[in-house]
Amino acid sequence: MSYFKRILAISTLLCGVSGFSQQINVVQNSFWLQEGYDRTLTIKDADYAYYNIDNANCKAFVEGNFAGRFSVVSATDSLLVLNPGGIVDYRFRRINKLPALCTETAVKDPSFEKNFKIFWLTFNDNYAFFKERNIKWQQVYKDYLPKVEKVETEQKFAAILREIVQEMNDGHIRLEIPKALNPKVTQTVTKPSKSKKEVIADLQQKYAENMKSYNDGVIQWGFLKSSKTGYIIINDMNNFADYVPASEQNSKDFIKKYETISTTKVPLKMFEDELNGVEKIMKIILDDLKNTESVVIDLRFNGGGYETVALKLLGHFVSDNKTILSVKAKTRLGFSASQHYNLVPAQNPYRKKVYVLTSHNTASAAEIFTLGTLSYPEIVRIGSPTAGIFSELLWKELPNGWEFSLSNEVYSDSKNKSYESVGIPANYEINYPKERTALYDSFYSSNGFTDKALEKVFLLEK
């Protein structure tokens, strides 16, 4: 199974079919065009096929039984709204039949010029952030087409696509090119860099005490030394399900054991287990921290995961139900209608002072957590702006079979402001390096280990 098929299989198998059986008479044996994603959906009885469309091909990339794939939000003769398990509902308009391309057998086309043009057109139709990233897309076409016309090998064509992607500087643009076409990396000797694990261990040794860990450190918690401040570090927005016994959660084989169990689960159940895992561990954590006067939530090393996990976690630190964000998708003619998301607080949330630590490596779902804090001015952010990549990855395929992703969703705060590219700013700025290993090394100097963000917390708590 290809990369984007694996990703979609996870993201679209997350919710059940609540309501589908009641509405099957409306949607069975029907064809639908999705708004903003250039995809079509066919439903026949209880089966479905989901197609990717571009300017050359239309190809079914996920198909099977409808049960477990989507939950039906609403269904009429003309509009079908489905949820794939996240916070964004997918809107489909009824069409009379599949586009002609979708009924034809897809044939691989190795033409470099054809593949470049499809690559360019797909971004032109679906990419949402040319302006925000200062990209003159028409100029890209003019500059690179002559180069592509002279290309004679796949390696050189791959290099051109990599160069374009690098210039766009969007962490959610990925190229899945055969490994044989990747450039050979010359080994160079550089000074050793600290790893993420080492930084976190040194941080906790100097500043924290009574630390506990869940699921191989996906979330850790304890107290800042000589204070009444709790400390929680969240390192990912996934792997929260309670699959592995406590005695084995910090073993070197944790991921293997976790995945062995998770792959036996129906995806619907797997995703439900993630959210249930959040609820279970947050109850334990907040009980442990009940006598603190403030808490630090450290997201500086968190590269993302499930946005639903991120917002479920945030719900444990707010008391008011508020609209915290909106999402819209890029279409060929503009944008889809904005969807607004309300954050519902947990039943017994933490009600004291909250600090959130961020860096340029706080990305994707971790940024959506941070975006939500903007609606709660009592939450104080310390660190560098976040990475500025919020959208889900929209996967597409070139005529030659290579796959790529792009950012087509615009996330905005409750005041309709987007932070794509620039990231979400901190209340108290710390100039962390953007490069990951440089960030890790920045905690060290000839004077030893220093965490400027936690030092700032101590000052604010005096």
Residue 382 has pLDDT above 70, yes or no: yes
Among 103, 122, 153, where does a domain finish? 103
In a domain, 293, yes or no: yes
Is the model's pLDDT at 437 over the cut of 50?
A: yes
Q: What is the pLDDT of residue 54?
A: 81
Residues 130 and 149 in one domain: yes
DSSP label at residue 312? H
Question: pLDDT class for 67, splitting at 50, 70, 90?
Answer: low
pLDDT at 16 over 80: no
For residue 238, pLDDT beyond 60: yes
In a domain, residue 415? The reply is no
Q: Are residues 177 and 81 in the same domain?
A: no
- Residues 82, 14: one domain? yes
Cα 60–66–71 angle (5° rounding)? 115
390 backbone φψ class: left, alpha, beta (φ>0; ψ -120 to 50): alpha
pLDDT in tens, 138-149: 999 999 999 999
Share of the chain above pLDDT 90, in %: 73
Q: Are residues 227 and 337 in the same domain?
A: yes
Phi and psi based region of residue 97 (left: phi greater than 0; alpha: psi -120 to 50; beta: remaining): beta
Instruction: Output the pTM of the full model.
Output: 0.90
What is the number of other CB atoms lying within 10 angstroms of the CB of residue 163? Answer: 11
Distance between CA 333 and CA 199 in Å, rounded? Answer: 47
Name the residue among 191, 237, 235, 198 with its Cα closest to residue 216.
Answer: 235
Residue 402 is assigned to a structural domain of this protein: no
The chain-wide mean pLDDT, for the chain, equals: 90
The pLDDT, as a whole number, for residue 47 is: 82
Average pLDDT for residues 173-192, to the nearest whole number? 76
User: Do 202 and 75 reside in the same domain of the chain?
Assistant: no
With 90 as the cut, is the pLDDT of residue 326 above it?
yes
Average pLDDT (408-433) is 97
99 or 372: which leads in pLDDT: 372
pLDDT in the model for residue 263: 87
Indicate if the pLDDT at residue 72 is higher than 70: yes
Supply the pLDDT for residue 6: 40
Of the pLDDT bands very low, low, confident and very high (cuts 50, 70, 90), residue 3 is very low
Same domain flag for 204 and 99: no
Please say if the pLDDT value at position 1 is more than 60.
no
- pLDDT on residue 18: 42
> Which is more confident, 105 or 378?
378
> pLDDT grade, residue 60 (50/70/90)?
confident
Q: Could you tell me if residue 380 is left (phi over 0), alpha (psi between -120 and 50 degrees) or otherwise beta?
A: beta
**Is residue 208 included in any domain, yes or no?**
yes
Domain boundary among 39, 72, 103: 103
Residues 31 and 127 reside in one and the same domain: no
Does residue 398 sit within a domain?
Answer: no
207-222 average pLDDT score: 97
Total domain count, the chain: 3
Mean pLDDT of 143-172: 96
Residue 389's pLDDT is what? 97
Mean pLDDT of 130-141: 97
- Residue 9 confidence (pLDDT): 42
332 shares its domain with 444: yes
The verdict on residue 401 lying in a domain is no
At 96-108, the pLDDT tens digits run 999 888 888 778 8
Domain presence at residue 188: no
User: Does a structural domain hold residue 190?
Assistant: no
Query: Are 244 and 301 part of one and the same domain?
Result: yes
For 287-324, the pLDDT digits (tens) are 999 999 999 999 999 999 999 999 999 999 999 999 99
Give the least confident one: 52-56, 96-100, 370-374: 52-56
Give yes or no: residues 88 and 164 share one domain.
Answer: no
CATH number for 322: 3.90.226.10
Distances (CA, A) of 123 to 54, 92, 371: 10, 21, 26
Residue range of the domain that includes 58: 3-103
In 3-state terms, what secondary structure has residue 72?
Answer: strand
Same domain, 226 and 282: yes
In terms of domains, do 311 and 253 share one? yes
Residue ending a domain, choose from 148, 181, 214? 181
